[in-house]
Structure 1
């Protein structure tokens, strides 16, 4: 009886702690302000003292989530980052993702580890191509989406026009939670749609600290800003008439999106977004395994490795695997089973991550992200479990569209070259393809976008002291094939078969027209598409 009671208490603890978790990703088109918003959310949660800032501002440090040297130099995110902190009684697991399409594969992996997403829109640009692609991934994964219209302190489009674009383009019914007083570029403050309360903000110098917020009575602001107030009331009346009120069921079903307005760089509206995430974003729920069977939150521990990253700690150059806990209670030191190999995996070095900063974590619950250090055997998509065996669906690889042969620029660095290529392949930074004809000293790097080659070159030089040269190959399309396909293509021009590190054979072609010709010539040979790098 004591054991049963103890088990029930543990299960109760797991469910209660899971209910406190909010795990979400910030997604957007490049330059929409994603990393700035991530920093602002951490600032309002009081886990940092000042916002890191925008690339190029003199005297300001780089944003907490952009910790790679290349990110600081270019002012873009090229790798996802994890920030975990507590706010309002909830435990927040916030994942900042790359906005650039060349790194969409990393974003796709991150979306396998969250329960909600914040779609960030630029007030002037609205929905952009990469935003649409990322939303399609959210739709396919049934991830509820909150929308934050950013940069309202700069000139931009009309609020109603942006909402209409969201509904007409991606089929999400907008449900405004806050509404701007003043057109884009002349923001006077924000109106809480449900209550009509108005808040005015005073931006801190440089946006480094939280903007001061002041509640102003409606009659006062109506007298001070009669034209803007009248326009806002007309717009809110129209929204009410067309049924744009918040509906939790529609939000969780992925047919509607709560919309908030603000300016991340000025820290305006960010606190309200953080509150909305705690109030509205769903806690973790049961995840289906590879056979489609849901695994209860209070089942024995199981989780999915969605990201592997090395080079975060320059002093130790270790390799960290990011594990999203799907079920059970994680305790540091427990021995898990690596589902892919059946081998044990010790978790002595488990850490909670905040950008590139780490602290030892003793326990974690469903929805949490745990960093496992020295995880050389783990790859993105791997499952770890305790007790009851489980295997979660693997994370597919994207179809590469760019190919280059990598060679070590210094013959004396061949050992470092091989180690570096192997490590970057294991992290999923790049796909590494080989063939007997080319040999191990000339692997083919396959990428969704060309910027991935820049990341590889930079990391090979800085982390492994093995500078590389890259020779572009004239291939644009890849298909999965088999040994029969390799034999069939052996004497064909403008194509070849290369083997990925996981043993998958990829037939690569100079262009789609050439591929179609080959497929028609060999109708019985397997040529299957990979997951598309761009979602149509």
Structure 2
């Protein structure tokens, strides 16, 4: 058993801030990740997504496909200490979980949202709320994740700040509350007005550009009177806009923020490093520290022995796996399970139990991961992200624990919209094909569906977006030396069903029944109109929507 001191665990949990940066593709997530790391002094020079303006490749993007396409596919975890200006005592420990930005990989993004305590939603100043942004906002709200909104790329021509605020209120019923309001319109980003809880600007932060935005932008601070003398009408416009919102009730309230009713708002340019440390300061001051978690009610109901129904952060160690990734080290065929510590102290080498299987294993190889850079982690506390190497048969959503058993709710699956049959080019590679399929399915790269008609050699891959198929095939070839062929099949809608309904559904035209790896029966329909027709003709059929439709 761990010799964790509850007081130490409580203090360490209190200074943790674990969050994800989520947005639509090209909103600047990877650039912001670099900028945050720069401001925390863990890198000396910021990079940007590969191929943009000749800057360095982003250190959090590591898969070859990410480098080739300039997108984030696999999520990485960055940990660093940070002390806001004037902060006394121990610095905060920041756990920044990077997320894939391409729409095809939103299932992985959803998993990350199960492992964090808050989200920074990045919105492009010119584009406003985009489809994936809308979807992820809703996922955050459904889970109860507090959201800090950042309007990025204010150094480029875009929309007006009031127009963007109005859109957020109307589209997702989330009230932004300005903390740092822009001085200068989009494309003329001079600095930020710090807004107090009365909605008044009490300080002007002026930024100075650096070469390529690769180093921290110098800041100068002015009183409102000095700002008015320096910037004239531009300052007056900024303060009037903030006061207008305050008059409408858009001022920060911590309780409303934690209830996901309001969202602190910051304007920034990650590329120029404007407004970046204001984002970090806001996270430290307002985002919640890690809290305890309730056990899965279904697991409690099915339990045949004593089992905890809740774990506080100071209880025995427990954690949740939210991501399983292989192939992160070309020199070793290993698997890395990303785990979020929920309670207690994790010590490398401790013997822990896999709740789903009952098997225990040692955690000899525990890592923190920064892009492709690995370092051994000896101790971790609630909120921390730890990579466990070759730690049994862990899958996303699994619980690991010490002491009395606990099991948290399983990881939901996104509703797939694309389906393809996968088969090996060579029959002689079937054994490797099957092994690769099992591993990549357990990682959640795609969902695997099978039925007796198609057989084990022709499983169906189900995914949120078609690029997941490319990742699946690329990894099969690189990691398992298996070349594959993926053939489309004429389905676009999936529903969960029951054995009783499945037998009748199978008789319907344009429907095929499969079993997913987790045992769920999944009915695939040719299109939404076919589904609608069957639902109307057979209202007694069980056809449940999957998550995030």
SS across alignment from 2:5? helix
Question: Which residue in the other structure is 2:303 paired with?
Answer: none
TM-score by length of 1: 0.94
Separation in 2, partners of 1:299, 1:224: 55
Question: Which residue in the other structure is 1:27 paired with?
Answer: 22
1:211-360 correspondence runs (5 A)? 211-291=217-297, 293-360=309-376
Q: Encode CA deviations 1:255-306: one digit per residue, 9 max, x unaligned.
A: 1111111100111100111111111111011111112944211111111111
Question: Which residue in the other structure is 1:97 paired with?
Answer: 99
SS across alignment from 1:198? strand
Question: CA 1:512 to 1:237, structure 2 compared with 1: closer, same or farther past 3 Å?
Answer: closer
Q: Encode CA deviations 1:444-468: one digit per residue, 9 max, x unaligned.
A: 1111111211211222222222221
Separation in 2, partners of 1:514, 1:159: 43
TM-score by length of 2: 0.92
Equivalent of 1:166 in 158, 165, 168: 168
5+ long unaligned stretches in structure 1: none
Contact 1:151/1:263 (8 A) holds in 2: yes
Question: CA 1:190 to 1:388, structure 2 compared with 1: closer, same or farther past 3 Å?
Answer: same
Contact 2:49/2:71 (8 A) holds in 1: no
| 1:518 Cα deviation from its structure 2 partner | 4.3
| 1:190 Cα deviation from its structure 2 partner | 1.2
| 1:369 Cα deviation from its structure 2 partner | 0.8
Q: Does 1:180 align with 2:182?
A: yes
Question: CA 1:61 to 1:233, structure 2 compared with 1: closer, same or farther past 3 Å?
Answer: closer
| 1:189 Cα deviation from its structure 2 partner | 1.1
Question: Which residue in the other structure is 1:57 paired with?
Answer: 52
| 1:376 Cα deviation from its structure 2 partner | 4.6
Equivalent of 2:37 in 42, 45, 62: 42
Question: Which residue in the other structure is 2:133 paired with?
Answer: 131
Question: When the two structures are aligned, how many residues end up with a matched partner?
Answer: 528
More deviation, 314-323/495-504: 495-504
| 1:471 Cα deviation from its structure 2 partner | 0.6
Q: Does 1:85 align with 2:41?
A: no
Q: Does 1:18 align with 2:36?
A: no
| 1:500 Cα deviation from its structure 2 partner | 1.5
Separation in 1, partners of 2:408, 2:486: 36
SS across alignment from 1:197? strand
Superposition RMSD in Å: 2.1
Question: Which residue in the other structure is 1:441 paired with?
Answer: 457
Separation in 1, partners of 2:545, 2:243: 49
Separation in 1, partners of 2:265, 2:334: 40
Question: Which residue in the other structure is 2:145 paired with?
Answer: 143
Separation in 1, partners of 2:452, 2:484: 21
| 1:482 Cα deviation from its structure 2 partner | 3.8
Question: CA 1:181 to 1:521, structure 2 compared with 1: closer, same or farther past 3 Å?
Answer: closer
Question: CA 1:414 to 1:199, structure 2 compared with 1: closer, same or farther past 3 Å?
Answer: same
